[in-house]
Structure 1
């Protein structure tokens, strides 16, 4: 069986900062290849006004306290920051981490974030158009920064077949989608079709999928569907035993 990459998203909701940073340290020590946060301003589950922390400030702290795993947002909302600023922020996190940052980005979807923080929510089509505009600007800014980012990968999260997956084929080094297996396989096949249309080597895109803890022992089904990188999700109090099992599978 081919070795695959293992990641975990440590959700910054309903926890203390001490709990969250300790979970980052522990996941790094367990051997996660990637550790992620998300880019929201309010919890997505549980008490709607419960404790929550901002994404990119947290990534700065995580970059300083981890040593091995690559780190990033799964994914950052394109609407919340000017694309040139986002590129500079990601480059700075890359410097702090010693070259381990990933710039994850998506079109955005959580309306409360927008309305509470004063962003225009608009339509899904408008948010996708904005993402399409931002991606080349991000790449241009990364090339201009001093010091420059060193091979900073771009991840795009999303599964829209007409726009998002084409943007993945055109711009991304990594792509994230969700299960179940049949859904992931279909989206993966569509991405391969877009790669063929735009002249992209499909093997150059790391295919990540977020799965549930109870699916850990079904990892081979996701590998068979095209995944190269399997990511778990974790909420406080951050039980990392599923991550330990998945790492063992990956190294076995």
Structure 2
């Protein structure tokens, strides 16, 4: 008889756009006091991708470090960090700093970066002087980034890295992350090319919610890629982002149920702004209560 699957683990996501820093801080501190909410996330965009295109948007890793210093229990991360924004060795240093500030609570989220068909996401590259390469380049860069970031977190001696997309000379990470051997690596994405990187490097795979049938198909493809490289597919935790409706909680509960039935055990509940008073308690009572042990 197979063992029963583990219960789902719930978290929240507060996209840092069209909000004030103190609004996000309030929600995270509320959630930090509620054990049923185990993790919390930001996104990684430099300009809004929803609402007023000229509205405020905060840099994700800077904000994450501030929130790490003001919370005590929550696992935390960026869902997901764009590998197009920062050189990976610099990102490794940033992530190490957040892991230390948080006392070892970082879940390291990374992905190829914005979809080329999302105009509001695409514009932030030109606005910040960042190149936007094609998908093949982006996926190859992500694979190399995952390799060298892990090496920076774990190797005891300086090393050189000569990849197709990244070159390092005398690379060395000091200090090290609190977590050993390194923070868990979450890779977000749904393309077949990205799923091959997930199979090779990720502890957790995240996919945006919406079409649960597509998520299941993508999960089956990930299983196949894991088997091809000799990895147990069950060693990759399945994570999904589920948008929250404050007005129609039943719709959100149904989406959660579909995700759990499909094998997703890491549930990220996306909270739309503005955030109601006591929203973390509302999420716990209305959405998580049915599933939490």
Q: Name the TM-score class by shorter chain.
A: over 0.9
SS at match of 2:205: strand
Distance (whole Å) between structure 2 residues aligned to residue 157 and residue 168 of structure 1: 8
Aligned to 1:26: 30
Matched, 1:103 2:108: yes
Question: Quick one: distance in 1 between partners of 2:240 and 2:222?
Answer: 14
Shift of 1:97: 0.7
Aligned positions of 1:141-180 closer than 5 A: 141-144=152-155, 145-149=173-177, 150=179, 151-161=182-192, 163-179=193-209, 180=211
Divergent runs of 4+, >6 A: none
Match of residue 134 from structure 1: 145
Normalised TM-score (structure 1): 0.94
SS at structure 2 position matched to 1:35: strand
Q: Unmatched 5+ residue regions in structure 2?
A: 115-120, 156-172, 245-250
How far is the alpha carbon of 1:199 from its aligned partner?
1.0
Matched, 1:119 2:119: no
Shift of 1:146: 3.1
Q: Which has the higher helix share?
A: 1
2:226: which partner in 1? 195
TM-score of the superposition, structure 2-length normalised? 0.81
Which residue number corresponds to residue 17 of structure 1? 21
Counterpart position of 1:247: 288
Task: Return 221-230 or 238-247, whichever deviates more.
Answer: 238-247
- My pick for the range that moved more, 124-133 or 68-77, is 124-133
1:171-229 alpha-carbon deviations (Å, 9 max, x no partner): 00111002322111111111111110111121211110011223224423212212011
Deviation at 1:72, TM superposition (A): 0.4
> Which runs of 5 or more residues in structure 1 are unaligned?
none
Structure with max Cα Rg: 2
